[in-house]
Amino acid sequence: MSLSGQKTTNLDAVVVGAGFSGLYMLYRLREAGFSTRVYEAGGDVGGVWYWNRYPGARCDSDSVHYCYTFSDELLQEWTWSSRYPEQPEILRYLNFVADKFNLRPDIQFNTRVKSAHYDEESSRWQIETEDGARVSAKYFITGVGCISTANIPKVKGLETFQGQWYHTGRWPHEKVDFTGKRVGVVGTGSSGVQSIPVIAQQAGHLTVFQRTPQYTVPARNHPYDPEFVEKTKANYPEIKQQLRESFGGLLVDSQEKSALEDTPEQRDRVYEAAWEKGGFGFAFSYTDLTLDEEANKTAADFVRAKIREIVKDPETVEKLSPTYYYGTKRPILDTNYYETYNRDNVSLVDVRKTPIVEITPTGLRTTEGEYELDVLVFATGYDGMTGTLFNIDIRSKDGVPLKEKWADGAETRTYLGIATAGFPNLFMITGPESPSVLSNMPVSIEQHVEWISDCIEYLRDHGIETIEPKVEAEEAWSRHCREVADATLYVKTDSWYTGANIAGKARRFPIYLGGVGPYRHICDEVAAKGYEGFSLSMCN
């Protein structure tokens, strides 16, 4: 049922975002007969894949697993070219999905949702967009992504810069030409590590401003051979089941034992094989790499040895060698990242030692001196997990802003990472305290979308007006989430996971680390028990 031409003031559901989450949410709700509208700030579908057009942007989960699995027809019709395709191919895929399922008529592009206030009297969400339009919906569903609010450092003088500057997550649609230019890249997370080798090939000179050196493992991207694709397509039912039951929503070779059970020689063989194979397998080589300091050190030492082997200049080796616990920032995959520092046109500046002081009209100044630049690229990441949710003024039935409920220091946030007490009929796809960014996102997105649409159908079929977590269920979930995280090394590292990258943000670890498969079972059990832990109120 399309909404085109219909009155839009009263909808069953409003969904925010037309990326992987929003597209599938729309499909499911529409199939179930709910009038649904998606609002999308971008000019087209794609979510992160619409915005992240920086050089070298590509996925780093195997593409045959980094996709929807809900439609057998779609799985058979779409063919991925390679293990880690570039952004344009992933964007083409999402456009293909939107067209195949005729989703566009129910998506309003170039429209940012400004506020969503729950009105207890009507039991409806009152939603306003930035252009002043208002709609009312029974269900308000966020599919805004976990890392979509760009973090642009507040460096003095940026407005005076006479060259061009960009953030990787807000890349222009037109090609940016670096040929012969003096380029600076600030940041060496996944976006920096992907873009630096590509920019280096074009730039006259590239200066990388690094605050924290990173562990990265070769991606070893390669075109798929047709036989592999055919076999994969034939096996999708089994693959889908394995992905859903897996720990991270990925299929990787992992040894079900501690790194410390192997001798140093055995470990070297395991790590070397994973390094050669490329991909996330390295991070899963042993079960305790993010649990035990000694086990962690074995993987960290291996990567540091690789850096010494690859990079020629000893001073650069020193600067590039990470010291934090391996894997406790987002593991990174690269193509020729460390090798890039052997190029004559690339230099590395340690801005932890010599911090950035200001941007000048002609470049960037650190405490050590000024670097003249024509182009400046901020690969400085995002206000993750909550930043985008907080940019919408979401208010509870008592008028409390979500931002206030989750204020710094608040220990309790969500039930299952899907819903939050005080906000009836609000659902968050891959919300805080779900596996989200520590999983292969499409797998987690499909799980949430299916759980949410099944829930909404249940409410309709049982004459239930509202659903909302009970405070005690929420407290127990937040506590469980925290206890699982506290048993790992993740909480000991400053990262965007913990909010440490954003000045003034409270430190917490809002990701459920219990694993995708076990988490799915918990959510399914809650539903099977009539939405245990939620309060349900009947229609009058």
Q: Does 211 bind ligand N01 (CB under 6 A)?
A: yes
User: Closest distance between ligand N01 and the C-beta of residue 379, in Å?
Assistant: 5
Assign 3-class secondary structure to 255-283. Answer: CCCCHHHCCHHHHHHHHHHHHHHCCHHHH
Give whichever of 382 and 451 is closer to ligand N01, judged by the CB atom. 382
How far apart, in whole angstroms, are the C-alpha atoms of residue 498 and residue 429?
Answer: 20
Interaction with ligand N01 in 382-411: which residues (CB under 6 A)? 382
How far apart, in whole angstroms, are the C-alpha atoms of residue 245 and residue 521?
Answer: 9
Give whichever of 233 and 505 is closer to ligand N01, judged by the CB atom. 505
Interaction with ligand N01 in 469-488: which residues (CB under 6 A)? none
- Cα 345 to chain centroid distance, Å, stands at 32
How far apart, in whole angstroms, are the C-alpha atoms of residue 51 and residue 363?
Answer: 26
Interaction with ligand N01 in 133-172: which residues (CB under 6 A)? 147, 153, 168
User: Closest distance between ligand N01 and the C-beta of residue 135, in Å?
Assistant: 31
How far apart, in whole angstroms, are the C-alpha atoms of residue 415 and residue 147?
Answer: 21
Binding segment for ligand N01 among 19-27, 112-120, 191-199, 394-402 (CB under 6 A)?
Answer: 191-199
User: Closest distance between ligand N01 and the C-beta of residue 216, in Å?
Assistant: 11
With CB under 6 A as the rule, give the number of residues binding ligand N01: 25
Q: Does 190 bind ligand N01 (CB under 6 A)?
A: yes
Q: Does 87 bind ligand N01 (CB under 6 A)?
A: no
User: Closest distance between ligand N01 and the C-beta of residue 48, in Å?
Assistant: 8
* Residue 55 near residue 201 (C-beta atoms within 8 A): no
Q: Does 443 bind ligand N01 (CB under 6 A)?
A: no
The amino acid present at 189, given as its one-letter code, is G
Q: Enter the DSSP assignment of 369.
A: -
How far apart, in whole angstroms, are the C-alpha atoms of residue 338 and residue 312?
Answer: 10
How far apart, in whole angstroms, are the C-alpha atoms of residue 268 and residue 302?
Answer: 8
How far apart, in whole angstroms, are the C-alpha atoms of residue 147 and residue 91?
Answer: 17
Alpha helices in 278-367 (DSSP H): 293-310, 314-320, 337-340
Give whichever of 36 and 216 is closer to ligand N01, judged by the CB atom. 216
Binding segment for ligand N01 among 186-194, 242-250, 300-308, 423-431 (CB under 6 A)?
Answer: 186-194
How far apart, in whole angstroms, are the C-alpha atoms of residue 209 and residue 304?
Answer: 20
**3-class secondary structure, 426:** strand
How far apart, in whole angstroms, are the C-alpha atoms of residue 129 and residue 136?
Answer: 11
How far apart, in whole angstroms, are the C-alpha atoms of residue 275 and residue 295?
Answer: 17
User: Closest distance between ligand N01 and the C-beta of residue 76, in Å?
Assistant: 25
Q: Does 212 bind ligand N01 (CB under 6 A)?
A: yes
Compute CA distances 57 → 51, 53, 91, 388, whole Å. Answer: 10, 6, 11, 21
How far apart, in whole angstroms, are the C-alpha atoms of residue 449 and residue 20?
Answer: 10
User: Closest distance between ligand N01 and the C-beta of residue 154, in Å?
Assistant: 8
Interaction with ligand N01 in 223-282: which residues (CB under 6 A)? none
Q: Are strands 164-167 and 182-186 parallel, antiparallel or unpaired?
A: unpaired
Q: Does 380 bind ligand N01 (CB under 6 A)?
A: yes
User: Closest distance between ligand N01 and the C-beta of residue 84, in Å?
Assistant: 8
Q: Does 194 bind ligand N01 (CB under 6 A)?
A: yes
Among 11, 13, 15, 59, binds ligand N01 (CB under 6 A): 59
Among 98, 141, 259, 437, binds ligand N01 (CB under 6 A): 437
Binding segment for ligand N01 among 73-81, 298-306, 376-384, 419-427 (CB under 6 A)?
Answer: 376-384
Q: Does 501 bind ligand N01 (CB under 6 A)?
A: yes
- 425 forms beta bridges with none
How far apart, in whole angstroms, are the C-alpha atoms of residue 472 and residue 493?
Answer: 30
Give whichever of 189 and 469 is closer to ligand N01, judged by the CB atom. 189
Give whichever of 210 and 420 is closer to ligand N01, judged by the CB atom. 210
The amino acid present at 311, given as its one-letter code, is V
Q: Which two tokens stand for residue 60?
A: 């780093």
Per-position x/- string for 328-367, each x denoting binding to ligand N01 as judged by CB under 6 A, each - no binding = --x--------------------x----x-----------
Q: Enter the DSSP assignment of 170.
A: G
User: Closest distance between ligand N01 and the C-beta of residue 153, in Å?
Assistant: 3
Q: Does 449 bind ligand N01 (CB under 6 A)?
A: no
The amino acid present at 231, given as its one-letter code, is K
Among 186, 377, 426, 467, binds ligand N01 (CB under 6 A): 186
User: Closest distance between ligand N01 and the C-beta of residue 83, in Å?
Assistant: 12
Q: Does 379 bind ligand N01 (CB under 6 A)?
A: yes
Q: What angle do CA 490, 193, 49 make, to 5 degrees?
A: 90
Among 17, 187, 249, 469, binds ligand N01 (CB under 6 A): 187
Residues that bind ligand N01 (CB under 6 A): 59-60, 147, 153, 168, 186-192, 194, 211-212, 330, 351, 356, 379-382, 437, 496, 501
